[in-house]
Amino acid sequence: MNIEEQLRLWDKIERYVEGKMKTEEYLAFEKEIASNSELAQQIADYQALRTSLDLLKERRQLRAKLDRFHAEIAPVEQQAALKVYKNKDTWRTYTSKYLPTIAVAASVALITVLSTLFTLGYLKSMERSQQSNLKLLRRELDQIKRDIKSTKDTLNRAIPRAMAASQRFEGTCFAISEKGYLITSYHLVAKADSVFIESTTQPGLRYKVELAFGDERTDLAVLKVADSTFHEFGRIPYTLKKGTVDLGEEIFTLAYPKNDIVYGEGSISARTGFEGDSVAYQISIPVNPGNSGGPVFDTNGNLIGVVSGKLSGAEGVAFALKSSVIWRTLKDSVPNKLDKMFDLPKQSKLAGQKRTVQLKKIQDYVFQVKVY
């Protein structure tokens, strides 16, 4: 490969990583990556370099802020120590000078009274001075706390930015067990360093997940929540349909082709997928790269497939891995874990309900997948 060809390849890699490719070019490049291990390694090296440079920049900025912060704290600590030291010296001087005089004059009532009044006045003056010093120290301590909070906020902002800079792409997944198992497309997570799920219908929900099972042949992946803050998803309203569906049957999807959940509807347009692939349906629903791994439902809310891709250059022609294939693959591959992975009701709780009601009940179990 000459220099000009290498430059063109680097330009293509940069546009791929930054998500600037059009859909057709993106899918074609994805296939090229899958068949070319050397190209996949070059992309991984590029992403690692970008991540390292971005993290280095963040660290330098953070180090500069911490240096300024410590420079501001040092004078405050010195002043506080000096005040306490002066107060202790004043007290020692006072006690060594006046205590013997008060003891000797204790027998004289007048001197005792005068000494007592003098002592009380001086102590009150000392108390007022000490209170003033304490207020000053409290204000300085509050300022230190605010500076520490500011530094902590900077750290919290820096970490997501560093992760966002290294993000490869996004997709969709959905829960199949209230215990934390989810299904998505294998090609999304196969070479990921880290994977997180998020929800726009439940603000603030973000969990780290790990790959529990993957099958490259069917493009099926099962994820498991690996986060100490996770408890459970709650009872899932839909179920998995183990049989096939009829040609022309109405279907719908929920997915994350952008940073918001999106509804799509259509029908089963063919019982087989690309080039007669028997493990998939052809569906007439417009999809984008972010739809990968999203669930496909029939009108009764039964899960009948998982969006796996689209036909390049053909609008509204997409493919979905059949639910019957999902069940058979997992039953054959992980029989001992199947009961844990699948915790769905025997019958859908959505049958006979309006579509808007179905969507409200489903949306909290569909998540955006962010791959790093």
Which candidate, 215, 170, 210, 171, places its Cα nearest to that of 194? 210
Are 144 and 219 part of one and the same domain? no
Name the 3-class secondary structure at 181.
strand
**CA separation for the pair 305, 285 (Å, rounded):** 13
Count CB atoms within 10 A of the CB of residue 98. 14
**CA separation for the pair 126, 128 (Å, rounded):** 5
Indicate whether 51 belongs to any domain: no
Are 114 and 179 part of one and the same domain? no
Are 238 and 119 part of one and the same domain? no
Indicate whether 195 belongs to any domain: yes
**CA separation for the pair 117, 90 (Å, rounded):** 19
**CA separation for the pair 84, 350 (Å, rounded):** 71
**CA separation for the pair 233, 247 (Å, rounded):** 33
Indicate whether 283 belongs to any domain: yes
301: buried, middle or exposed (CB in 10 Å: 19+, 13-18, 0-12)?
A: buried
**CA separation for the pair 302, 294 (Å, rounded):** 14
Indicate whether 361 belongs to any domain: yes
Count CB atoms within 10 A of the CB of residue 230. 15
Q: Using one digit for the tens of pLDDT, what is the confidence trace for 251-308? A: 999 999 988 999 999 999 999 988 888 999 999 998 888 999 999 999 999 999 999 9
Per the DSSP assignment, residues forming a β-bridge with 185 are 220
Name the 3-class secondary structure at 304.
strand
Structure tokens at 266: 């259509």
Are 270 and 246 part of one and the same domain? yes
Name the 3-class secondary structure at 47.
helix
Indicate whether 116 belongs to any domain: yes
**CA separation for the pair 254, 350 (Å, rounded):** 15
Structural domain boundaries, residue 122: 60-164
Domain end point (choices 132, 164, 196): 164
Q: Using one digit for the tens of pLDDT, what is the confidence trace for 102-115? A: 455 445 445 554 45
Are 233 and 320 part of one and the same domain? yes
Whether 213 contacts 185, CB under 8 Å: no
Are 291 and 331 part of one and the same domain? yes
Indicate whether 82 belongs to any domain: yes
Helices (H), the chain: 3-17, 23-35, 37-104, 109-165, 186-189, 323-333, 338-341, 355-362
- What's the pLDDT score for residue 70? 60
Are 156 and 242 part of one and the same domain? no
Are 116 and 188 part of one and the same domain? no
Are 123 and 270 part of one and the same domain? no
Positions in the chain whose pLDDT score sits under 50 = 76-78, 80-88, 90-91, 94-95, 98, 102, 105-106, 108-109, 113-114, 117, 122-123, 162, 164-165
